[in-house]
Structure 1
Amino acid sequence: MRKRMLITGGTRGIGRATARMAAARGWDLALGYRGDDAAAQALVADLEATGARAVAKPGEVSDPDAVAALFDVAESALGGLDAVVVNAGIVAPSSSLAGTGTDRLRRVVEVNLLGALFTAREAARRLGNGKGKGGAIVLVSSVAARLGAAGEYVDYAAAKAGVETLALGLSRELAAQGVRVNAVRPGLIDTGIHASGGRPGRAQDLAHLAALGRPGRPEEVAEMILWLCSPAASYVTGAVMEVGGGR
């Protein structure tokens, strides 16, 4: 029987890589996304071509009603959920905290932290509390949570640190209900998120900071996410697994 996974931010970057890899390994997918309908439908078609069931729904993770609607669509299309990947996130152009405007601060925290809280809360309601059969929740953090991202985006780093604390606390709340909760901390990964922050070449520019001397690929993060969702990680919960190339 195929397993069923929901991924927020599921149509680009790490989310897209995870969706493709999951479909190839026997998962059905529900993808949350914002903005690019054509890219979302193209990815759904690609996933379905592998034999997976797939559905995509647009919406803002900072809106709790939109998050609940995404879960409704996922459960209706797939017949339930076994794993939720809390992946949606944004960055903004590099700035010191002193030079950061209030509107940006609100937006970064609303998407990266409040959006993660809304998504994790909905996952807890659907997988836990005796309503589901257990499962796995994986929250995508960032090495910025450990490094602080000084001079770039301290707001993003602070929000991602909150995501890691969320994983720890929720893992303890849901353990007795058979739900494992973990976080993945990617390092410099070569995705489009850097361009959205105004530095499309950032991953390559900073690659020398990693011991391995190169940026990571989204597929390398996807491998960790899928491992945490698999039976191979049956005794792993409350962990933060770094995929950072030794930075």
Structure 2
Amino acid sequence: MERPITVVTGGSRGIGAAACLRLAADGHDVAVGYVRDSAAAEAVVAGVREAGGRAVAVRADTSVEADVERLFDIAGERLGPVTGLVNNAAVTGPLGRLADSDTANLRRLLDVNLLGVLLCARRAAQLMTARGSGVIVNVSSGAATIGSPGEYVHYAATKAGVDALTLGLAKELGPDGVRVNAVAPGVIDTEMHAAMGAPGRARKMGSAVPLGRAGRAEEIAAAIAWLMSPDASYATGAVLRVAGGR
């Protein structure tokens, strides 16, 4: 059997990095998309290779059309025809009320979390419909359904858009043999919280989750891997919540 070839955006850290390593363990070759930290991306590439997979790191800002095209082109040239996409790259901006948010931060949030997801999904759809098969997993957030007031309603709004994209695109691409699903993580202990200016947020909020703790990136990666696998062959248009009961 041919090895699946999967593009993972935002693959140098957090959920994206964990997804790369889990998919490699499951037999995927991986294109690791990243925007800044080349050393971290190369470390993930090394981890994929240690797991027996082939990998390439590609610097790409997913909000830039030319970068998205280059990401998929390099994946195709170096690894082979792309069969899967983990649409993970996202930003949050600083924590705070919408009334206090900066317009530049709002634009960046929309550019990455919505436009970037759309651009990557579009390119994947073009390639996969031509082959008659493929899998897309979008990384949404539990914030899409709880709104996250006082923290980042702007981020929650973009993730609600990801949920809508997942449902609509699944119906659009199903007849072409392409499955589209999403994972909606809850509070996950990753570097994202420090980037928002609240490094202790995951531990603090985790205590209020029904399971009593924050989640781990590897737990989200396991859900992504299942949705990417043949075991999920009849799942499309689903938003799988992995949020500890929250």
Does TM-score exceed 0.5, indicating one fold? yes
Q: 1:190 deviation in Å?
A: 0.5
1:118 equivalent in alignment to 2:119: yes
Partner residue, 2:197: 198
The aligned counterpart of 2:146 is 147
Q: Which residue of 2 aligns with 1:242?
A: 241
Letter in 2 for 1:238: G
Shift >6 Å, 4+ stretches: none
Unmatched tracts of structure 2, length 5 or more = none
After superposition, the C-alpha distances for 1:184-220 in whole angstroms (9 at most, x for unaligned) are 1000000001111001111101012210000000111
1:101-140 residue pairs with structure 2 within 5 A? 101-128=102-129, 131-140=130-139
Secondary structure, aligned partner of 1:242: strand
Q: Name the counterpart of 1:177.
A: 176
**Corresponding position of 2:70:** 69
Q: Contact (CA 8 Å) 1:92, 1:198: kept in 2 or not?
A: no
- Opposite residue 123 of structure 2, the aligned amino acid is E
Per-residue CA shift, 1:140-164, capped at 9, x if unaligned? 0011101111111111000000000
Q: Which moved more, 1:44-53 or 1:174-183?
A: 44-53
Contact 2:21 2:51 in 1 (8 A): no
How many angstroms does 1:42 deviate by?
1.9
CA contact (8 A) 2:185 2:243 kept: yes
Q: Contact 1:182–1:236 at 8 Å: present in 2 too?
A: yes
CA root-mean-square deviation: 0.9
C-alpha contact 1:11 1:31 (8 A) present in aligned 2? yes
Shift of 1:81: 1.4
Q: TM-score, normalised by structure 1?
A: 0.97
Q: Among all aligned residue pairs of Structure 1 and Structure 2, give the percentage whose two residues are the same amino acid.
A: 51
Mapped partners of 2:47, 2:168: distance in 1: 36
Q: Distance in 1 between matches of 2:87 and 2:111?
A: 14
2:40 — aligned with what?
A: 39
CA shift for structure 1 position 75: 0.8
**Cα separation, 2, equivalents of 1:219 and 1:199:** 21
Counterpart Cα distance in 2 of 1:194 and 1:117: 25
1:167–1:181 contact (8 Å) kept in structure 2: yes
Q: Secondary structure at the residue paired with 2:86?
A: strand
1:46 is displaced (CA, Å) by 2.2
| Mapping of residues 18-33 of structure 1, within 5 Å | 18-33=19-34
Partners of 2:43 and 2:232 in 1: CA distance? 31
1:8 corresponds to: 9
8 Å contact 2:138–2:162 — kept in the other structure? yes
Count residues with an aligned counterpart.
245
- SS of 1:214's partner is coil
Q: Quick one: distance in 2 between partners of 1:133 and 1:80?
A: 12
Query: C-alpha distance in 2, partners of 1:61/1:79?
Result: 21
User: 2:37, 2:210 → 1: CA distance?
Assistant: 35
Shift of 1:50: 2.3
AA in 2 matched with 1:105: L
TM-aligned CA deviation for residue 91 of structure 1: 1.0
The residue type equivalent to 1:235 in the other structure is: Y
Distance in 1 (alpha carbons) for counterparts of 2:229 and 2:205: 32
Q: TM-score, normalization: structure 2?
A: 0.98
Which of 181-190 and 202-211 deviates more?
Answer: 202-211
- Give how far 1:77 is off: 1.1
